[in-house]
Structure 1
């Protein structure tokens, strides 16, 4: 207390000056409209700037929620489009032409490998959200992979960058198809093999998913033809495909469920085991 008293005595003139200055400024602002308006404008400018900065910070921290909301809305729109005949999905690429009986869900990639021979992704959604084994995973740009396993809240995905995970693919607009594989060398490219030499193709042609898959809808984009090789031993093409997806940078993805997959696979299995089949 003694120190406070000593401080006030030592600085009494300065404090008195500041007090009188404050009183004079207050009286000036109150008695002169011009000064009052300038004061109010200055106060509004300062408070406006402060509120703007606070709002910017709030918006920044709200971006995650906004992104999730947008991804959820995209999934809902994709489901509507996937189940509507003669509809073309208006995104960067056409996905797909005619689809039905598909359910679409959204998820976020929280882990992603792309430098191994057998690569996997982890999603932040699992069985609780309806994800199951053997569901297709795509992004806005094309094929990502297939769900391998699920827990209650997470799912792992076999990436398209996997040397032991062939997918059915075809050359768009020609109906010639083959198997999509990965040679394990470059994360930006996959290969389409077993394409007959009768197929008409050229560099730049689009490769999409084929109709033989019970997991992926037909015509989901995969990539564009980069190089074409001929296998003399098999008389077939091996095609190098540049992926539409940047598999090293994936955010939100969409999980597609074919609600008739089990029925189709059960019928095919029964047919293959039919003893009367010749």
Structure 2
């Protein structure tokens, strides 16, 4: 203990200098938007490099599972292709996703994934240099994952659906009744669909999909299946528990969805509000 005290006394000037330097840097970053943005970008670069290194190790030990997922996805795509070749009946496409030619996809690798907190994020190995921007949707072949929030040149952070601030439009697959997809912070496999009207035909086992009423996700992307539901005190709206199709504790690769018509639609909506 005496040695520690002697060390602090001998180096008190250096310690004081480092302390004051840290405080001044903190105040500079907090009070100037330019320095703050540069700091965030640099932090994303450093943390992204660390996450990338650890992700490479994790990916190696999960190659078998990732390959199995790719095989399953290829099987589904081949089945749809076979159906398309056999028939052009519109009834065969009632379950297809409504992309309307406005969406493009980019593949990316997840290098960090949180799921044990109240507000969880993912980090992906693509950024602005790959065309990634804020408010792009992130999905896997099994369901939705989240929405891009911050972007640096080579990395992006994604606000997970397992986040108290996440609110995504979703609906019952068997009807057009929709609500807001949220998470109560408890089970990483279960999310909630709120504000669904009491007249909706809710049934355990039914599938929940994206509603297509936002500019981020197209209509029809799978989310999960209903495990439980209950009416609120006024008996006007349901709160529905949904078991996710995605295993949010094990996300290896994702697709980033870009709505190519988003900028045009936002511009039109802004003009309408200004008039």
TM-score interval, smaller chain: 0.5 to 0.7
How far off is 1:265 after superposition?
Answer: 1.9
Distance 2:257 2:91 in 1: 17
Residue 230 of structure 1 and its aligned partner are, at CA, apart by 0.3
Distance of 2:92 and 2:128 partners within structure 1: 30
Partner of 2:158: 157
Q: Residues of 2 paired with 1:253 and 1:233: CA distance?
A: 40
Shift of 1:270: 2.5
Q: Distance in 2 between matches of 1:131 and 1:160?
A: 19
User: CA–CA distance in 1 between the matches of 2:269 and 2:222?
Assistant: 26
Render the CA deviation track for 1:205-236: whole Å, top value 9, x for unaligned: 10000021110011100000110110123611
Aligned partner of 2:168 in structure 1 is 167
The Cα of 1:95 is off from its aligned counterpart by: 5.6
Instruction: Structure 1: state its 5+ residue gaps.
Output: 1-59
Tell me the secondary structure at the aligned position of residue 266 of structure 1.
helix
Query: Which residue of the partner structure matches residue 236 of structure 1?
Result: 237
Counterpart Cα distance in 2 of 1:131 and 1:268:
23
Output the CA distance in 1 between the equivalents of 2:273 and 2:235. Answer: 27
Please name the residue that 1:186 is paired with: 187
Following the alignment from structure 1 to structure 2, what is the Cα–Cα distance between the partners of residues 122 and 134? 14
Q: Give the conservation status (yes or no) of the 8 Å contact 2:198–2:235.
A: no
Looking at structure 2, the residues matched to 240 and 265 of structure 1 have their Cα atoms a distance apart, in angstroms, of: 32
Q: Contact 1:88 / 1:97 at 8 angstroms: preserved in 2?
A: no
Decide whether aligned partners of structure 1 residues 267 and 88 sit closer, same or farther in structure 2, where only a CA change above 3 A counts: farther
Instruction: Point out 4+ residue stretches in structure 1 off by more than 4 angstroms.
Output: 84-89
Paired residues of 2:179 and 2:195 also in contact (CA < 8 A): yes
Matches within 5 A, 1:1-278: 96-233=97-234, 235-274=236-275
Residues 230-272 of structure 1: CA deviation (Å, up to 9, x unaligned): 0123611110100000000001100010000111122223323
Distance (Å, rounded) in 2 between the aligned partners of 1:205 and 1:190 = 14
Name the CA shift for 1:129/1:88 in 2 (closer, same or farther; >3 Å). farther
SS of 1:122's equivalent in the other structure is strand
CA distance in 2, matches of 1:97, 1:214: 13
Equivalenced residue count is 199
Which residue in 1 is equivalent to 2:5?
none
Once residues 182 and 198 of structure 2 are traced to their aligned partners in structure 1, the CA distance between those partners, rounded to angstroms, is 18
1:32-83 Cα distance to aligned partner (Å, 9 max, x none): xxxxxxxxxxxxxxxxxxxxxxxxxxxx99x79x97xx79x98xx8xxx9xx
Instruction: Provide the C-alpha distance between the structure 1 equivalents of 2:91 and 2:271, rounded to a whole number of angstroms.
Output: 33
Q: Quick check: 230-239 or 166-175, which moved more?
A: 230-239
Give the CA deviation at 1:97. Answer: 4.3
- Post-superposition CA distance 1:6-42 (Å, at most 9, x none): xxxxxxxxxxxxxxxxxxxxxxxxxxxxxxxxxxxxx
CA contact (8 A) 1:88 1:96 kept: no
CA contact (8 A) 2:98 2:218 kept: no
Larger radius of gyration: 1
